[in-house]
Chains A and B, each alone.
Chain A
Amino acid sequence: MSIIYFLIGCSILLALGFLCAFFWAQRKGQHDDLYTPSVRILLDDDTSGEAEK
């Protein structure tokens, strides 16, 4: 059963990884604006072609 020590160690390390990822996202400002991207994704790229020179 001593494998449990190892497994719990692994799971905590993994969880810590996620926690660090969250901090990183927070510091990069990924949670600053939660609305605009939802609109932005609905806007099409220009297909008229007149702009692309």
Chain B
Amino acid sequence: MLVNTTTKSTCYHCGQDCEETTYQFDEKEFCCVGCRGVYQVLSQSGLCNYYNYNEHPGANRARTDKRFEYLDEPRIISDLVDFTDGGITIVTFYIPYIHCSSCIWLLEQLHRLNPAIYYSRIDFLKKQVNIRFDNSKITLRQVVELLFDIGYEPHINLQDVVKKQSAGQKDNLVRKIAVAGFCFGNVMLLSFPEYLGLSGQEESFRQFFGWLNIVFSLPVAFYSGTEYFTSAYHNLKNKVLNIDFPLALGIAVLFIRTVAEILTHSGPGFADTLCGLVFFLLVGKFVQRKTYYHISFERDYRSFFPVAVQVISDEGEKPLPLSDLKVGQRIRIRNNEIIPADAILLKGNAMIDFSFVTGESAPVNKTLGEIIYAGGRQMGEALEMEIVKPVSQSYLTQLWNNEAFTRQQDNRMQTFNERVSKHFTIVLLVIAFGSLFFWLPFDWQRGLSAFTAVLIVACPCALALSTPFTMSAALSVFDRNFFYLKNTAVVEQLARINTLVFDKTGTITNNNNKVLTDHTTLSATQRQLVQSVCINSGHPLSRQICAYLGAGTVLPVSAYNEVPGKGIRAVIGDHLVAIGSSEFVVDGGYELGNTTMVHVTIDDFYCGYYSFNHQYREGLQDVAALSPDYNLYLLSGDQDHERRELLPYFNNTNMLFRQSPQQKLDFIKELQSRGKKVSMLGDGLNDAGALKQSDLGIAITDNVNNFSPGSDAILDGRSLKSFPRFLKFAKDTVKVIHISFFISLTYNLIGLSFAVTGKLSPLTAAILMPLSTATIISFTSIATHVAAKKRQLL
């Protein structure tokens, strides 16, 4: 090994190691021009406090070639902004990089960078910034460019534009809870005297409290509780019995009986039970509603494609929104831009990176006149292309026209709750009518009171609460382990899965990590030569070779020629060094074909090669151990050259290679038709169809802010090793729900024994209902916690 002669310094802005040349400014070191540029901008405005709150708060700025011309298009502007008039424009941007207090501080100081910006405010959890600016002094494009200059590039994509138009509707749940809680508190206070006993002379108070109770019950029944009535009505119309029906029945009976008792002076009524019931039910609903602000489960190709593309016409170039692209138009695709529609290459040297579509990270060379599919990213010079298919019908986006994307997703699997509540409702009605007809011949009043009492006591409040509380506790456990579920129903599906289908590239392999194996016969001085050449290249493989060789003395390179996708030729001193693919380095050389290889020749003398293999994600071993309890399959779009390496993990017959996106989808369908409950794990747009088709689609990603295809759950790649434990934990939570059902049934039976005799006092109901609720909530929380501990997830 060589002695390190250059000391590694870290960049003042982003904290990365300065690889080669350092850029200095203000006696501080930066790893690239971009980082230094940000520092200069900030120091000119006296905003260097940014660096005081956190060490290295900045994002790495190695790429600084973004174009924002399209933000001058009036149509796109009107889609993006929230509000605009003659003087003020308000806009909200999503900025994935927001991550610390420095970000908040800097982004709220925008007015000091440019006085035309009146005000900017951050919502940290949503990673959004809301900016208000004077549109006569600064354009939207300039605002975005300013954000880009200080290292906070907003994430603007088509889906945001679309999302604006279909803004989410709110159902005022918080307001309903507030009303119910307000009435609940007051009614309890007013019911107290009744329970403690009032003497005869205080009869007028009894009347007064009773009337007040009715007044307080009105908004609870008719405002807070309305959704139970509407939901029960809709379900009855569709001939479904779900848990909302007995709940609505319970609320209705409680209200009617309360009003009747108070009007006829026959009793105090059940106003407090009614208000408490509705309040707890709504709280359960609220708890169940978990929102991941910065994760989207509904992404499709639109969030991956740019908002606009440069179209070449006789009048010159102008950006056009993707939706307006027509067949036959000529477009210009610059370095690092994504091809939005299938198009023919007319001009330029195309090196297309299809990693997103196929998972293959090596750029593919295309010749003039070839059709290039949408979804590829051009690496290198600008291209001119002619569109042959509209965006919506291009190869990749065709997937979205599949029926898997249009069918209703709600009826995938019945939850336990739904199955039980059907039987529960039937039994409840039988008991209620049974006690009614039992008493009718003797005493119709008693019969009526028994009938209503049964419906009141058996009102499945605890049943309705057990699922939301257990599931939301489970969700937060998963959340802590970087596994994000779309909603609570997914937990139950996870427990029921028996077949797992994996995509290969990016799912079980680590995208950004390849293992380098050294097959070279290089002396120390030759290593130095290779190192000195590679250090000049930005290609990921060169970077990795550099990192592998370690820091040595860098020799000056006198001639340097890098051919994209092929290799590098360089002259150092009197040596000619060539590094790259076999046909580039060795005339008609050989390739083993199953790994990426980088060959080295020095002075036309072949010195061996470096090979790069995909590295499997940590935890593949644990996942493979899930067999035989689970059927494991592997579907890959690649060639089958890794078959041998994967044999320890998968059965040979369960590995399918060279699968198109459509074939993946069909394979899942076929498994489902054999009665399997399939979960698909994938990471790219090419798995999107299969993810959607499966009973439980899980997208794997290394960064949850990056694109991930639409799915039911998003799993951080680091947590693949915990996946078997997740499955077990999901089964545990379902068990917890079952047990809590039994507990609440026990309470119901105790209450029923009072009720069928027609002797249910309001006091018993008022005690039983909160008691059962409290028991269920505490039991589920504790049991879920214990289960998570047992599975080492906490």
Contacts and interface: CB of A to CB of B under 8 A. Distances in A.
B178 A48 contact: no
B49 A35 contact: no
A48 B46 contact: yes
Contacts of B553: none
Contacts of B47: 51
Given A15-B186, A48-B46, A51-B46, A33 B123 contact: yes
B132 to A, nearest CB: 15
B175 A23 contact: yes
B620 to A, nearest CB: 36
A43 to B, nearest CB: 5
Interface in B96-118: 101, 104-105, 108, 112
A4 B205 contact: yes
Contact of B179 (A19, A32, A42, A43): A19
A22 B178 CA distance: 8
B208 interface: yes
Interface in B202-243: 202, 205, 208, 212
B173 to A, nearest CB: 11
Interface string A18-47: 010011001000011101100110111010
B182 interface: yes
A10 to B, nearest CB: 13
B45 interface: yes
B767 interface: no
A15 B178 CA distance: 12
B53 A43 contact: yes
15 contacts: A1-B205, A12-B212, A15-B182, A19-B179, A26-B174, A26-B175, A26-B178, A32-B123, A33-B124, A35-B124, A35-B125, A36-B104, A36-B123, A51-B45, A51-B112
Contacts of A42: 101
Interface of B: 45-49, 53, 101, 104-105, 108, 112, 121-126, 174-175, 178-179, 182, 185-186, 190, 202, 205, 208, 212
Interface of B is mostly: helix
Contact of A40 (B45, B48, B108, B178): B108
Closest 4 CB pairs of A and B: A51-B46, A50-B46, A36-B124, A33-B123
Contacts of A1: 202, 205
Interface centre among A31, A36, A46 (most CB of B within 10 A): A36
Contacts of B212: 8, 12
Contacts of B122: 36
Contact of A33 (B46, B49, B125, B186): B125
Interface of A: 1, 4-5, 8, 12, 15, 19, 22-23, 26, 31-33, 35-36, 39-40, 42-44, 46, 48, 50-51
A51 B45 CA distance: 7
Contacts of A35: 124-125
A39 B49 CA distance: 15
Contact of B208 (A5, A32, A46): A5
B258 to A, nearest CB: 19
A46 B124 CA distance: 21
Contact of A39 (B45, B101, B202): B101
Nearest to A49: B46
A37 to B, nearest CB: 9
A8 B193 CA distance: 13
A39 B104 contact: yes
Contact of A43 (B48, B105, B123, B178): B105
A26 B173 CA distance: 11
Contact of B178 (A19, A32, A44, A50): A19
A44 B102 CA distance: 11
Nearest to B53: A43
Contacts of B182: 15, 19
Given A33-B123, A51-B112, 11 more contacts: A4-B205, A15-B186, A22-B178, A23-B175, A26-B175, A31-B174, A35-B124, A39-B124, A46-B46, A48-B48, A51-B47
B652 to A, nearest CB: 51
A34 to B, nearest CB: 8
A5 B212 CA distance: 11
A12 B190 CA distance: 11
Contacts of B108: 40
